[in-house]
Amino acid sequence: MNCFTNLLKIISCAAVVLCALSISSQLYAQDMTADEIINTMTETMNPDQSQGRMKMTIMTTSGQERTFEYETFSKNQGEKSLMKYVKPTRVKDQAILMLNNADDIWVYFPRTKRVRKLATHAKKQKVEGSDFSYEDMGASNTFIDEYDAVRHNDEKKEGRQCYKIELTRKSESSASYSRIVMWVDKEYMVPLVIGYYHEDDPKLWEKQLVCSDIQLIDGIYTPMKFVMYNKLDNTHTSMEIIEVTYKVELPDNLFTEQGMQQ
Amino acid sequence: MKHLKLGSCPDLSFWIIIYRKIVDPAKRENLPLGTWFLELGICILVLGACSFSIAQVDIYGYFEPQFSGMYYDSAFYQVNYNKLRIDLKSTAVKNIEFGANVIYLLYFGKKDWDILDFLPEHIVSTIPSEMYPYYQLTFKDTLFLDNAYARVNIRRLALTVGKQQISMGTGYFSNPTDILNTKDALDPTYEQPGHNAIRLNLYIGNRMNLMGLYTPIASDWENSGKLVRAKIGISHFDFSVSGHEYQHTSTNFYTFQQTQERRMLIGADFVGELLGLGVWGEGIYNFIEDEDDDFYEFIVGTDYTFESGLYGMLEYHRNSLGKSDYTEYNLNDWMRFFTGETKTISQDQVYGFIQYPLTDLINIGGSIIVCVSDKSVAFVPTINYSLFENVDLMLMGNFYVGDEGKTFSSSLGNGGFFRTTVYF
């Protein structure tokens, strides 16, 4: 009997503690500033190291589908990243290395065995004709470094409670979008929807990224599917994570010319 | 001019291969024993790797029919080819990569050409008539091993042995520091042929590497090519310096006699960003042993991508071996230009390139090549269409504006090609 009473006490205490933690967490979350939300989201979206395989499907203006598969590697919270195409054969072994949060980009062309360094302006270019630019793919800290964040009233998006954050490009920044509006899932702290606005016209809606199928991978909430809608060209590109792990130890020399060519 | 002569096909590298290895088989036979041994050894290695683990060998490649045509002297000519390239790649053995590719080229259309038809009359008149047959060029069907190499990666060290592609320099239309390849300015991104070499890369840190390259082009060590190159990344720039000692073969095209000379090249290149523009440059100074004909060559370039997706590039190229007065171009100048012995016939060139994504599957654009020295211009419009996931179409034209005897003389005719590439 005593044992049962003690067990009840322990469960009751635990419930109280959990409840208190939950309330304090919600209170804390409600008090989070725009910068804190962006920082937490950026941390969630950019784990220390990751290795995965992704599938990118481009829906072209003519209604054709183009599918690419590539391996991805990233380190230092996304500060370094490497993409290696696996399919289709046309781009097999082509690799894109991005260092310093995509401020430095190199592309390796296996057919000519040539490595070409791209300047910052090339970040605006589409990756393999998709609706993702190099900047969309590579820069992990863009939201923090290049924009000023403002928090608006919370909204429901995709059926989930979200923080609504508006980012305005800093005057000294050369980022490709003048304004970004995003909805960050309150529970998972990952973006569910991101609206990108034109470089020169903050009212011109250029692209929209929708993230879905959030799964807990190695203790980190991960959207497994991304769809980028190009509002100007009326095209869209989807990306699916086929497999990913965050429990890896990637060598530094993977993120070099040597790594691109291996 | 050389492009027109060769049926307006821009892939000069293949014409050079054909010239050196097929049309002039004597040169092929004279290749040093070491070179053949190297090729054979690597073949055995690659085939060996394939046989013990066929399941771990990637087999891929492409089929590429190309139709080229040109209007010349009020007539239409065409020279076409079907090209099949098969690549093998295996990483079955840990840290070792075996790679090889075979190219099969089948020509059809006008396969026999007379180079003299495209040379200015005042140059043809200097050639003895009994020598005329030597200026015939025939495109013969050919099957050859383009690359066959083994690459060993041990930590930050990579050793590549065999016939391999070697690319150097930051220039787009031309690479002065790369004496192994000659780019065709009309189609500069086309693949280059493999070279027999032993290459050692040492990657120090994340953005620094050293390369040593030995190319056994002669029968002994002394006369073979030796290159060292150091590359370092600083901020948003990559810099490299290189030294290359090699044997250069010059042909006297009046007599078809060849002479060898030792050359020492000191070169440097950079690529980076300035004021939002991509910038790059590369240059060399070439010392020629026992002669006072040292020469230099450099190229500088810049590019930018506009918000609309329009991409633009501009390059300036100077080759002090080229001539500033086109009336001084002689037979040797033209023929050395054709065969890749020299990179340009004129001294100063300006290259421009633009590309615009018309749709997500179609890119339109083109190049303009201005020979500043002789005031002739080539316009090269291009359309690229991604027909299917593994099928690319390319349409390229070439239109020359210049007086007779200049690099891009309108009297040389105009043309273009249609190329389909089917990857498998």
By the 10 Å C-beta count (0-12 exposed, 13-18 middle, 19+ buried), B96 is classed as middle
Cβ neighbours of B308 (radius 10 Å): 9
The predicted pLDDT at position B72 comes to: 84
Q: What is the pTM of this model?
A: 0.82
- Classified by CATH at the fold level, domain B2-423 comes out as Porin (2.40.160)
Nearest to B218 by CA among B85, B93, B35: B35
- C-alpha neighbours within 13 Å on the C-beta side of residue B335: 24
Nearest to B90 by CA among B41, B35, B37, B148: B148
Is A26 within a domain?
Answer: no
Is A47 within a domain?
Answer: yes
Q: A118: which chain B residues are within 8 Å (Cβ-Cβ)?
A: 278
Task: Kindly report, residue by residue over A99-145, the tens digit of the pLDDT.
Answer: 988 889 999 999 888 999 988 888 878 888 889 988 888 767 788 88
Is A152 within a domain?
Answer: yes
- Best B14, B240, B389 residue to mutate vs chain A (most A CBs within 10 Å): B389
pLDDT greater than 60 at residue A27: no
Is A120 within a domain?
Answer: yes
Q: Which domain holds residue A222?
A: 34-261
Residue B306 φ/ψ, nearest 5 degrees: -85, 165
User: Which amino acid belongs to residue A206?
Assistant: E
Domain count along chain A: 1
Residue listed under structure tokens 């295996």: B90
Confidence class for position A9, pLDDT limits 50, 70, 90: low
Q: A99: which chain B residues are within 8 Å (Cβ-Cβ)?
A: 206-207
B/e letters for B37-56, b = 16+ CB within 10 Å, e = fewer, are ebbeebeebbeebbeeeeee
ipTM of the complex: 0.81
pLDDT greater than 60 at residue A29: no
Tokens of B85: 């390239």
The predicted pLDDT at position A54 comes to: 96
B/e letters for B123-159, b = 16+ CB within 10 Å, e = fewer, are bbeebeeeeeeebebebeebebbbbbbbbebeebebb
Question: Per-residue pLDDT for chain B (424 aa), expressed as one digit of tens each?
Answer: 333 333 333 333 333 333 443 334 444 444 454 455 455 555 555 555 555 455 588 999 999 999 999 988 888 999 999 999 999 999 888 889 999 999 999 999 999 988 888 888 889 998 988 889 989 989 999 999 999 999 999 888 999 999 999 999 999 999 999 999 989 888 899 999 999 999 999 999 889 999 999 999 888 888 899 999 999 999 999 999 999 999 988 899 988 899 888 999 999 999 999 988 999 999 999 999 877 789 999 999 999 998 888 999 999 999 999 999 999 999 999 999 888 888 899 999 999 999 999 988 899 999 999 999 999 999 999 999 999 989 999 999 999 999 888 999 887 889 999 999 999 9
CATH number for the domain spanning A165: value is 2.50.20.10
Task: Report the distance separating Cα A82 and Cα A105, nearest Å.
Answer: 10
Q: B307: which chain A residues are within 8 Å (Cβ-Cβ)?
A: 124, 176, 198-200
The predicted pLDDT at position B309 comes to: 85
Shortest CA gap B73–chain A (Å)? 36
B360: nearest CB among A58, A174, A257:
A58
Q: Where are the domains of chain B?
A: 2-423
Tokens of A22: 């939950």
Tokens of A190: 């990952």
The predicted pLDDT at position B399 comes to: 94
Stretch A187-191: mean pLDDT, rounded?
93
Asked if residue A120 lies in contact with residue A103, where contact means CB atoms within 8 angstroms, the answer is yes
- Chain B contact present for A24, CB below 8 A: no
Task: Kindly report, residue by residue over A69-99, the tens digit of the pLDDT.
Answer: 999 999 998 889 999 999 999 999 999 999 9
Beta bridge partners of A80: A75
Beta bridge partners of B98: B90, B150
